[in-house]
Amino acid sequence: MDANDTLTRLEAVIAQRRAADPETSYVAKLNARGLPKIAQKLGEEAVEAVIAAMANDREGLVGEAADLLFHLLVLLDAQGIPLSEVLAELDRREGVSGIAEKASRSR
């Protein structure tokens, strides 16, 4: 199973559901509540992933990581940023030291 295929399929589902009825679609409901709520949910999922990791809860971390990726894709969609753009940035950074890459960013 290719992770990029899974994320690409999920990205398409999120884009499709954005305009659905908020009464029947969680994605539509999040979008109706606006960017601050989407960002808040992403933050909550990140914290929950950290908590699961610190508790050495492998199953919990897997679930929270899935929630985190889902909510990140919802946020990217809300901002009009395709997953391909994020993946291209990761490709650009491949083989570059994390320390060197961070130092190269403009302040």
Residue 80 backbone phi and psi in degrees, to 5: 75, 25
Residue ranges and CATH numbers for the domains of the chain are: 3-104 (1.10.287.1080)
- Count the alpha carbons within 13 Å of 42 in the hemisphere toward its beta carbon: 18
Neighbours of 106 (CB within 10 A): 3
3-class state of residue 1 by DSSP: coil
Would you state the pLDDT for residue 107?
56
pTM summary value: 0.86
Residue given tokens 């290719």 in the structure block: 2
pLDDT at residue 95 in the model: 85
pLDDT band at 78 (very low <50, low <70, confident <90, very high): very high
Mean pLDDT value across the chain: 92
Element (H, E) at 24: none
In this prediction, residue 71 carries a pLDDT of 98
Tell me how far apart the alpha carbons of residues 22 and 62 are, in angstroms, rounded to a whole number: 27
Q: Is the pLDDT of residue 1 over 70?
A: no
User: What is the band of 24 on the pLDDT scale with cuts at 50, 70, 90?
Assistant: very high
- Runs of H (alpha helix) within the chain: 3-17, 26-33, 35-54, 58-78, 83-93, 98-104
* Mean of pLDDT values over 57-72: 98
27-42 mean pLDDT: 98
Chain mean position to CA 48: 14
